[in-house]
Structure 1
Amino acid sequence: MILIRNADLYNPQHIGLRDILVAGGQIVAIGEGLDDFPVDVERIDAAGGIVHPGFIDGHVHAIGGGGEAGMISRVPPLSEGEVAQAAVTGIVGVLGTDGRTRTVRDLLAKIKGYREWGLSAWALTGSYELPSQTITGSVGDDIALIEEIIGVKVAISDHRCSIPTTEELTRLAGEARVAGLLAGKCGIVHVHVGSFRTAIDQLFQIVTDTPLPVSCFYPTHMGGHLEAAASWLEIGGHVDITCSEKAVGQVLSLVERHPEGITLSTDSNGSFPKWNQAKEIVGMDRGRISTLDETVSSLISQGLERGLAYNLVTSSPARWMRLAGKGRIEVGYDADIVIRDGQKVRYVISRGQVLVHEGRVKSPMYS
């Protein structure tokens, strides 16, 4: 059992000073003056700091991404410790451009390893291309039968995608949706949206011309298509903004009118190639999971209310991806808790396990 005393609690909205009792991996009590227990309890004094839910990063290249500049440009995998140090307790792993040398099977193994270490983790089947790479041979079967797989990824409006037709995207969404219904999962189509001018035109066509609801699609990298993002939010959709230097302004332009429809993710360990007009690579960088916390901090410093900033990376992704027991500090929820001293992360608790203790991360399997 863990008792967090004197917590200035954001759940993610500001609650004020509370004590939080953790047992069996869950939050079992929140109140004032919780201190009289007949058993030994680990006590953490959070006085002077801030306590908020662990962050959820919905777009992470857990086994590494990239490769567009040759095999030497393959980005390495993301370690468990890097995740926890970034105040992240839940991730969704994806494949990207490379659906040839990287596999959903390998991704699933990495996700299982994260879980064994103490994090919460899920995966999407598929990659940029259609037909989708899968484990079972079927997108629907992957979602319905494999616990960790909650949806499928595909790319549109990008010179690296397979240029899927609207009919192909419609069938993919229908298959994922039904599988999600059967398995009690979101069954989303997580859509990488490239920089081409068509943006999410195909998604608008699908939700206009078919019975499929807007909730079937979760478009990401929408910071470069703010008009389309605003229109998508207006019809009840949700959009994901990728952390970058421009992300703060992009979020601020949307969040006041649509505070519940936006999420932030990092594209961590994916490649960030720089292209010229001829679509030739002229530079390469990679995503970093630390940018999630950095972007949230920048939003707060730019005047966004702290609870609303936390919502973008806690309760909002948990709600849209139907991650039960995640994204909030409430009784009955999983004990995914971050304790801060200013900007410094003091403690990270994931499913009731302390992964970061006074700034020091739990030892990995291999040093």
Structure 2
Amino acid sequence: MITIVKNVEIYAPESLGLKQVVLIGDKIEGIYDNITIPENFVKINVIEGEGKYLFPGFIDAHVHLLGGGGEGGFSTRTPEIQLSNIIVGGTTTVVGCLGTDSVCRDMKALIAKAYALEEEGITTYVYTGSYEIPVKSVTESIKSDIMLINKIIGVGEVALSDHRSSQPSYEEFLRLTSQARVAGLLSGKAGIVHVHMGDGERRLEFLYRMLEDTEIPIKQIVPTHINRSIDLFKSGVEYAKRGGYLDLTTSSDPEHLEENEVKASKALKMLLEEGIPIEQIMFSSDGQGSLPRFDEKRQMVGLGIGEVRSLYREVKDAVQKDGVKLETALKTITSNVADALKLSNKGRIGPGKDADLVLVNKEDLSIYTVIAKGKEVVFGDRVLVKGTFEN
């Protein structure tokens, strides 16, 4: 199938100006200044892009595909995610992970869920492991998981500085990281170690020690939830000044942020003001994880579910409320994530790249159309493609 997006202003995520984009099947064939459609040619799907911006499909590197939570008992386990929950917010690529619970949820089920979502129309990857160290791998080791299982691109989310972690030793964490790095080198994958940061006093201690003690590059690790408290955030600023990645979590209740929590959009602005290069900053949603809700007295009154759509919400807030440039904010959910995870066909608009695109209205940045693998899956407020068991 051939699709042409006409007269659209492209952010690839860098601004390319007004162009015409041709898609053939699930790939971008080319970007042109002008294009003429021959009469009586094969059927072409034409999307009018006047008054619109065109972005790369968004990448969410932290989604609990099988659900998360459970720390309040079995009834607090969140359900599996559905396709529409992902694509409605413009996300076309996700990386699935386990969380606290690696007993009732396991890697085989996570991989199966990733394959199911892929069959339904988006691109999926997973991390091997969960909060705990040693990692419960699918094969005999982390290294062989990454090397031999196509879906697995790294390790995570491994928990540090958190009362729910397995309280690993520094040496255990170092061995895990070295296995992931070597496996990535041998397989051509990122071998990223995606680290859940809690709000414990040790904060980024293991990561700093690794930089002093070993030759492992700082960008082998992506610490996430770095905006969960102001103290952790400040420690993250210093880490980023040494060249490290920072991953800001977007799922929160914007009206009732937890005490000391830093909203992702504001955290982005603060990092840029500190001189941190935008290429080191990423957003992820923690989608389908449990989200505590508090009243005005800070008493928990219920549980919500983290939303993948929060990923783009925070990008919009960064632009519309915090004054961050559009092409700068976009990089946190497109090219930066693709580069960190070595997803060479994702995160950018260009010839030969995957046809994952988001068309938005210029006036308010609201989503107009989402294209995944060359197929329109969202139009305005309507989800055009739903998961197998969705109503």
TM-score class, shorter: over 0.9
1:308 aligns with 2:311: no
Runs of 4+ in structure 1 deviating by more than 6 angstroms, as ranges, are: none
> By how many angstroms is 1:231 displaced?
1.6
Instruction: Please name the residue that 2:266 is paired with.
Output: 249
> By how many angstroms is 1:307 displaced?
0.6
Write the distance in 2 (CA, Å) between the matches of 1:175 and 1:185: 13
* SS in structure 2 of the partner of residue 9 of structure 1: strand
* SS in structure 1 of the partner of residue 333 of structure 2: coil
Q: Is the 8 A contact 1:144 1:180 kept in 2?
A: yes
Q: Is the 8 A contact 2:85 2:307 kept in 1?
A: no
Instruction: Please name the residue that 1:294 is paired with.
Output: 313
1:239 aligns with 2:261: no
> Aligned ranges for residues 155-304 of structure 1 at < 5 Å?
155-223=159-227, 224=229, 225-243=232-250, 244=252, 245=254, 246-256=263-273, 257=275, 258-273=277-292, 284-301=303-320, 302-304=322-324
1:343 aligns with 2:384: no
When residues 335 and 98 of structure 1 are mapped into structure 2, their CA distance, relative to the original with a 3 A threshold, is: same
* SS in structure 2 of the partner of residue 222 of structure 1: coil
- Structure 1: runs of 5+ lacking an equivalent: none
Moved more, 235-244 or 32-41: 32-41
Q: Cα RMSD between the aligned structures?
A: 1.7
> By how many angstroms is 1:235 displaced?
1.6
1:130 aligns with 2:133: yes
> Aligned ranges for residues 93-104 of structure 1 at < 5 Å?
93-104=96-107
Write the distance in 2 (CA, Å) between the matches of 1:304 and 1:323: 25
Write the distance in 2 (CA, Å) between the matches of 1:282 and 1:211: 47
* SS in structure 1 of the partner of residue 327 of structure 2: helix
* SS in structure 1 of the partner of residue 17 of structure 2: strand
> By how many angstroms is 1:282 displaced?
7.3
1:82 aligns with 2:82: no
Instruction: Please name the residue that 2:150 is paired with.
Output: 147
User: Structure 1 vs Structure 2: percent identity of aligned residues?
Assistant: 37
* SS in structure 2 of the partner of residue 28 of structure 1: strand
Amino acid at match of 1:126: G
Write the distance in 2 (CA, Å) between the matches of 1:141 and 1:282: 44
Amino acid at match of 2:248: I
Instruction: Please name the residue that 1:357 is paired with.
Output: 379
Instruction: Please name the residue that 2:52 is paired with.
Output: 49
Write the distance in 2 (CA, Å) between the matches of 1:70 and 1:255: 40
When residues 36 and 281 of structure 1 are mapped into structure 2, their CA distance, relative to the original with a 3 A threshold, is: closer
> By how many angstroms is 1:233 displaced?
1.2
> By how many angstroms is 1:340 displaced?
1.4
Q: Is the 8 A contact 2:91 2:309 kept in 1?
A: no
Please, what TM-score do these two structures have when normalized by structure 2?
0.89
Amino acid at match of 2:96: G
> By how many angstroms is 1:343 displaced?
3.3
